[in-house]
Homo-oligomer: A and B are copies of this chain.
């Protein structure tokens, strides 16, 4: 320090003392207003923004506003994942960016056989966003957390200038506990495994596209976004599941190719066994899309030991989210390829989608 601190002037002039942003004393919610750049500066406005969001979640660890949340965990294997959500539009039939961000991350944990333990959320907010929109996203996330039985324990908010983002982006990270004895992974599929799919495909993608600016069309379907960890737990209890994956971006075509590549096996899918809801099939035909390449957010595929396949299928069908579960194919020796056996008995390759496909579906 070479001299006295300059007296504070200008934009950084401090004007307020400590404020209480604990959930028991939330900063009163203004009825409206817009997000300002100052909400991202780390000062009083940031505290107000945080004080507005945190009470929505009702979690004491989140409300502690420490640099990191602390949690007791049992010894063992932990699953850890992160996903950025940039879906456009922010709300769509059956959900919004908030519920999607919760279920998407819960499901990434579930695909490793983990029970979700806690989530963290980071918001990148565009200056000028209506605070009511932000409130709505937080309420939706909190409701999704309750439905999934998971806590949101840590968060972060940043604000960027108008034009430097598109409303709001939400990145959710999650940790979960993998029960002892559970061993699933994309590289564990074996020839002879049965391919199960827990529900209809392509639903989320079509629901979002139906509300996309410049593309809006009427479709009698809602996003299937839903937490899948109960389904996974029931399936793991019922049989020997080798690999799990939820066909989100890139759809069934992408995830089956990823599984085939990771395990060095071939996969054959029966067209007749796939559950493609009528509105999804019709929208795909209209748009020139392959339903196999369209994202879902509430179904998953499992590659299961053949002796267990019926038991897993029964366990899945006993759950609402798995009511339409079906055996859709089987795993053979490598090389790594995926093909579809059509209704006419012909085979066509199922390839990794290319091109622009469906950006900002999640």
Contact = CB atoms under 8 A, between A and B. Distances in A.
Count the copies: 2
B74 A75 contact: yes
Which of A13, A65, A357 lies at the interface centre, i.e. has the most chain B CB atoms within 10 A of its CB? Answer: A357
Given A5-B291, A122-B82, A44 B77 contact: no
A36 to B, nearest CB: 8
A97 interface: no
Given A68-B108, A80-B154, A290-B14, A355 B175 contact: no
A73 B76 contact: yes
B82 A173 contact: yes
Given A18-B336, A254-B42, A78 B84 contact: no
Contacts of A30: none
Given A5-B274, A352-B17, A154 B82 contact: yes
Main secondary structure of the interface of A (DSSP, over half): mixed
A67 B293 contact: no
A292 B5 CA distance: 9
Nearest to A278: B2
Interface size class of A (residues with CB under 8 A): 35 or more
A160 interface: yes
A342 interface: yes
Interface stretch (A131-139, A234-242, A245-253): A245-253
The 5 tightest CB contacts between A and B, nearest first, are A42-B249, A42-B250, A10-B288, A41-B357, A14-B351
11 contacts: A2-B282, A4-B344, A36-B356, A40-B249, A70-B112, A82-B154, A84-B156, A120-B173, A159-B359, A161-B360, A165-B166
Interface of A: 1-20, 36-38, 40-47, 64-86, 107-109, 111-112, 114, 118, 120-124, 153-161, 163-166, 169, 171, 173-176, 178, 185-187, 244-246, 248-251, 253-254, 257-258, 260-262, 271-272, 274-276, 278, 281-282, 284-285, 287-295, 336-338, 340, 342-344, 349-360
